[in-house]
Every structure is written in structure tokens, then in C-alpha cells.
Amino acid sequence: VLDFNDPFSTEVKPRILLMGLRRSGKSSIQKVVFHKMSPNETLFLESTNKICREDVSNSSFVNFQIWDFPGQIDFFDPTFDYEMIFRGTGALIFVIDSQDDYMEALARLHLTVTRAYKVNPDINFEIFIHKVDGLSDDHKIETQRDIHQRANDDLADAGLEKIHLSFYLTSIYDHSIFEAFSKVVQKLIPQLPTLENLLNIFISVSTCYILSFLFDVVSKIYIATDSTPVDMQTYELCCDMIDVVIDISCIYGLKDDGTGTPYDKESMAIIKLNNTTVLYLKEVTKFLALVCFVREESFERKGLIDYNFHCFRKAIQEVFEVRMKVVRSRKHQSHVQKNKRPTPNGTPRMPL
């Protein structure tokens, strides 16, 4: 079991902390994004009363730990070693209920951020302004502006202007929570510049591509995209396409005896939109898919598109291999260090 003090766990699997007041929606976010729970089912979730850890290992890129902290726990109590908690953390997600009085939440946010920053200045601080589905568009913007202003003013008053907070408007009833989590996870992927560069090369070699994403098909988190700006409608189309592919594959992709995998190297889909654009999905690995927007008139040269995709898939596999070599090397180093530690009675450990 990997614990807070395991250096290998934090190097290979970055830690994401989910914090916020009670009933702010932390557990619901985790269930919807990583367990495919229906948003309506989250209404029946019981309040979390203990720290819950989950390992997310969908691929070599989407590979991290999520620690869900109950809102009623004061982890700055002397019984908690909060320095150990924050020392190996990659991202801290603080969830604020936008439909509630958020002054207490802002006070807790300020305390959490300032303490965490002193322990680990490299933490990414992500603020989810949650449950915005019940607010009008104007009210959403006003709420985000107010929370943004108050949170940064509190940091400025404490002389901590250099701390950067990222803000997201989120709801489990639309794709905003998936997009926000995508942004959080991307910051924890060391290979992100390489992946983005590969996607940029992929769309630049031909004029037929408009936009491309590299998706984790399990969570619908996109781990990279090219340099083209992304809007919510485009992202929602990609998510809906992944849902369609997986649902149909689960019905028709399995063997007669129910064995096999619904998503494999033969998985692909083509959807023609009514704006002379084609949505094209291809399997990259058993967990990743490339989703592209292609001009319809250019799709007649499908052989060229498939050749470019073959080159892209090969490059991704090479990145995977490098990543796995790093993981094995760090795991070996961690194992060696553990064997060098003395036993509780002071004698050195004997190598196995």
C-alpha cells in the first residue's frame, strides 16, 4: 500500500487532493468522472466521514492518486501531519459550492493554500466553483469574479501575491467537470509538451485536419490537444462520440460468449456533421483514442489520413516506452532505498 510518505508513489503517481467544506460536491465529482455514475445518483451519496484514496491508472499518462478529504476534518489539528500530506502533492483541488454562502469556504481556502504553499511551493492550486448548473450565465460570471477577487485579495494581504490560483466553473450535469479535470491532469503530465508537439505535427502535415484531441476513453479526460483553441461545444461533441463508440462496442463488439474487449486496435468511428466537417475517432492504445475534426472534402483521401495516423500512433508508443523505462527505474531505486533502511532493531536489512 502506498502511503503519504512513499517517494516512489508521488514521483510515478502524482497525488491530487480533493478538499472543501462539507456537501460541496467533492465525492460526487469523483464518482461522476471516474466511476461513470449518473449525476442524479449522486443525490443519494452519504457524506464522506473518512479520508478516501483512489488510484487512477487508466494509462501511463492518466496515472495518479486522488485523496478525498471530508470537509469536517481539521487536518491542521496537531494529530495530523499536514506537512507530510502536502509534501508529495501535485495538485490541490478546492471545491466551493457556488449556490451556498462561500465566505467560510474562502476562509478555509486561504488557510489551506497558505499552509500548503509553505510546505510545497510546486503544488498546483485548482479552484472548482461548483454546482453552477443552478445559476444564470450572468450570475455565473459574477460569482466567479467575486470569488476570484476575494481569494486573490486575501493572498495579497498576506504578502503571497506570487501564489497562482486557477479557477473553473464546474457542474456534474454537463461536461464542464470533465474539461476542468482535463486541465488539472495535463499539468501533472511531464510528457505534455511532447504530446502537444506530436498533435501539432499531425495536423500540420495536411490541410485536411482542423482540430485533434488525445482522449482517455475511460474518464473522457483529454490529456493533450494541438495549439488550436478549444471551446466547450467542440469538447462535448468529442465526449458524446466516445460514449457512442463505447456503448455500441459493448453491444456488438464482444464475442458470442461475452469475452473479448469492446475497445481494441480495430476500434474506429466516422460521424459526418452538418457543417461539412467529419468527426474521426481511432484507437491509439487500449486506453487512448485520437479524435479529429476533418474537412469533409478532404476525407476522400482517407489513405493519407490513415498513414499519418499510423505514424502518430508509432510516435505515441515510443513515448510510452520511455515513460515505462522511467517508471521501472524509479521503482528499482525505491526498492533499493527501502532495503538500505535499517530494521526497527537497528540491524541492516538483508537483500532478498
What pLDDT, on the 0 to 100 scale, is given for residue 134?
85
Give the pLDDT mean for 97-126: 94
pLDDT of residue 342: 59
Q: Answer with the residue of higher pLDDT: 236 or 336.
A: 236
pLDDT tens per residue across span 160-176: 999 999 999 999 999 99
Q: If you average pLDDT over residues 288-305, what whole number do you get? A: 84
Q: pLDDT at position 348, please?
A: 55
pTM of the model: 0.84
**Domain range annotation of the chain:** 15-188, 191-333
- Per-residue pLDDT of 51-65, as tens digits, reads 888 888 766 677 788
334 pLDDT band, cuts 50/70/90, is: low
pLDDT at 1: 33
As its CATH architecture, domain 15-188 has 3-Layer(aba) Sandwich (3.40)
Looking at residue 184, its pLDDT comes to 94
What's the pLDDT tens digit per position in 248-267? 888 887 776 666 677 788 88
Is 191-333 a domain of CATH 1.20.1250.20? no
On the question of pLDDT at 16 being above 60, the answer is: yes
pLDDT at 349: 54
Decide if pLDDT at 115 tops 80.
yes
At residue 219, does pLDDT exceed 90?
A: no
Residue 4 pLDDT > 50, yes or no? Answer: no
Q: What is the pLDDT of residues 66-97, one digit of tens each?
A: 998 888 777 777 777 778 888 889 999 999 99
> How far apart (Å, rounded) are the C-alpha atoms in residues 8 and 337?
10
